[in-house]
């Protein structure tokens, strides 16, 4: 197959992303104000709680089977490798550029987490439908591509809210605690004039009367009584200790975000696809509850264009954003668009050589593409949550997604040539 055909097949889905992103940016302009801050907040909630879960659940339920799930075991490991390698390279960039400490969580998150969900849902189905696609029958390619994309989104959500979330939380909490300590220390400083006044006033006051001793004795007796009562209390039971440990773990790792709606939908989709009884009820032309799966698929189709419009609207904040160290932006771009894809080729080819990955060109292509995606959109949610690096994230998003049109086209073409 000619390189030009591969290039056209790779460029068409990227062009679709660019057009939708440009439309989202246009709708967010102050003169238009259709996708303002409030509208984006409401749309984000609809996507997070409705559209994305419907897309993930319906795709997995419709296409996943008990036979096929055993062949996909390497994908969670591959995504974990992208996170670990990306954050390691990001740490090198931070040490080299001597970035401000409050931006460490943001930079590490941008280097570690790629946009595994929405970008794959756009790129892979579009490539399957192109005339020059190297993946064979368009319908079969589309069905398998939706399974791989849904699985990537579900696994990426788990890693995002367990790995990246805690990185951003740790560094933002350190900087916030230091700022609070500094503020408290400055507030507690009193001028010398006030101190001398207080000392002089204290010398003028009379001493405490002797009859106050009885009150002190009563207080001491009350304190001894409290101590004796608390000493008699039984020790905390084992179940209470386990409950406390679980509450601490849930607070630290934010289990509510870890079990996001998309993750729960993925679990439900796996159950429907794998368990024959559920599959007969919901999937197929003669299934009695097929209307449920059809409604979920209909809702899921709205996810991709909506999210792409929101991404375009968020890029407008980058144009108005504050200044950020140029070396940090270059470092994130080099890691996400040069270093990670090159390392990904070696990792995936090694996995194929040792028999860890099945001989499916589309599956190998998805594994490679997971190393070449722009930063995840959910990092912006985390920066807003911890109020650390919000404006800087918008600037990084602006530059990385502006260059994604060139890098994604190049790497998509190269990966298709590599696996064909």
pLDDT value of residue 206: 47
Mean per-residue pLDDT, 156-168: 83
**289-308: per-residue pLDDT in tens?**
889 989 999 998 898 889 88
pTM above 0.85, yes or no: no
The rounded percent of the chain whose pLDDT value lies above 70 is 78
Residue 178: pLDDT above 70? no
Better pLDDT: 320 or 203: 320
pLDDT of residue 90: 94
Q: In the CATH scheme, what is the code of domain 3-176+251-419?
A: 1.20.1530.20
User: Mean pLDDT across the chain, nearest whole number?
Assistant: 80
Between residues 348 and 167, the one the model is more confident about: 348
By CB atoms closer than 10 A (0-12, 13-18, 19+), residue 267 is middle
> What is the pLDDT, as a whole number, of residue 247?
64
Of 410, 407, 409, the C-alpha closest to 399 is: 407
> Domain segments of the chain: what residues?
3-176+251-419
Q: For 359-407, how does the pLDDT look when each residue is reduced to its tens digit (9 = 90+)?
A: 889 999 999 999 999 998 888 777 777 777 777 888 888 899 889 889 9
Interatomic CA distance for residues 184 and 396, integer angstroms: 33
CA proximity to 367, closest of 72, 40, 70: 72
Q: What is the pLDDT of residue 366?
A: 95
Class of residue 36 by CB neighbours under 10 A (exposed 0-12, middle 13-18, buried 19+): middle
Identify the band that residue 349 occupies on the pLDDT scale cut at 50, 70 and 90.
very high
Check whether 195 has a pLDDT greater than 90. no
How many CB atoms within 10 Å of residue 271? Answer: 14
Query: CA distances (Å), 110 to each of 89, 328, 391, 392, 397, in order?
Result: 11, 11, 14, 11, 9
For residue 73, what is the DSSP state? T
Over residues 57-63, the mean pLDDT reads 84
pLDDT tens-digit series, residues 247-276: 665 555 556 656 778 788 888 988 988 888
Per-residue pLDDT, 253 = 55
* Contact predicate 72/152, CB 8 Å: no
Structure tokens at 162: 């367990």
Q: Which two tokens stand for residue 186?
A: 């400055």
- Cα dihedral across residues 296, 159, 337, 81: positive or negative: negative
Q: What is the DSSP letter of 133?
A: -
Question: In the predicted model, what is the mean pLDDT of residues 7-17?
Answer: 83
Res 330: pLDDT: 94
Phi, psi of 114 (to 5 degrees): -100, 165
């Amino acid at each position: 197959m000619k390189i030009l055909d591969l290039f056209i097949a790779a460029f068409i889905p990227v062009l679709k992303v660019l057009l939708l992103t440009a439309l989202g940016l246009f709708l967010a302009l102050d003169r238009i104000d259709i996708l303002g801050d409030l509208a984006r907040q409401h749309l984000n909630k609809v996507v997070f709680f409705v559209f994305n879960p419907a897309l993930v659940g319906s795709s997995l339920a419709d296409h996943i089977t008990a036979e096929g799930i055993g062949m996909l075991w390497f994908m969670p490991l591959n995504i974990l490798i992208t996170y670990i390698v990306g954050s390691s390279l990001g740490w090198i960039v931070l040490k080299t550029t001597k970035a401000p400490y409050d931006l460490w969580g943001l930079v590490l998150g941008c280097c570690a987490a790629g946009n595994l969900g929405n970008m794959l849902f756009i790129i892979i189905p579009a490539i399957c439908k192109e005339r020059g696609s190297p993946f064979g029958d368009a319908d079969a390619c589309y069905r398998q591509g939706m399974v791989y994309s849904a699985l990537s989104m579900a696994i990426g959500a788990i890693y995002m809210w367990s790995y990246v979330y805690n990185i951003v939380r740790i560094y933002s909490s350190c900087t916030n605690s230091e700022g609070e300590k500094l503020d408290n220390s400055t507030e507690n400083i009193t001028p010398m004039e006030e101190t001398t006044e207080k000392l002089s006033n204290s010398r003028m006051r009379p001493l405490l009367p002797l009859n106050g001793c009885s009150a002190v004795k009563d207080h001491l007796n009350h304190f001894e009584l409290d101590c004796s009562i608390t000493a008699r209390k039984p020790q905390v039971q084992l179940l209470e200790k386990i409950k406390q440990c679980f509450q601490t773990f849930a607070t630290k790792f934010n289990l509510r975000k870890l079990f996001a709606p998309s993750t729960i939908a993925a679990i439900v989709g796996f159950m429907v696809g794998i368990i024959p009884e559920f599959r007969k009820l919901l999937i197929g032309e003669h299934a009695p509850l097929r209307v449920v799966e059809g409604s979920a698929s209909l809702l899921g189709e709205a996810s991709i264009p909506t999210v792409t419009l929101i991404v375009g609207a968020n890029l407008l904040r980058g144009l108005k954003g504050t200044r950020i160290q140029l070396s940090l932006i270059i470092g994130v771009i080099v890691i996400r668009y040069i270093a990670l894809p090159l390392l990904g080729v070696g990792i995936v080819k090694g996995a194929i050589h040792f028999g860890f990955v099945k001989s499916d060109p589309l599956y190998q292509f998805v594994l490679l593409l997971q190393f070449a995606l722009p930063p995840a959109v959910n990092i912006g949610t985390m920066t807003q949550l911890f109020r650390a690096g919000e404006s800087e994230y918008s600037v990084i998003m602006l530059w990385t997604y502006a260059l994604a049109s060139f890098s994604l086209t190049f790497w998509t073409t190269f990966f298709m040539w590599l696996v064909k």
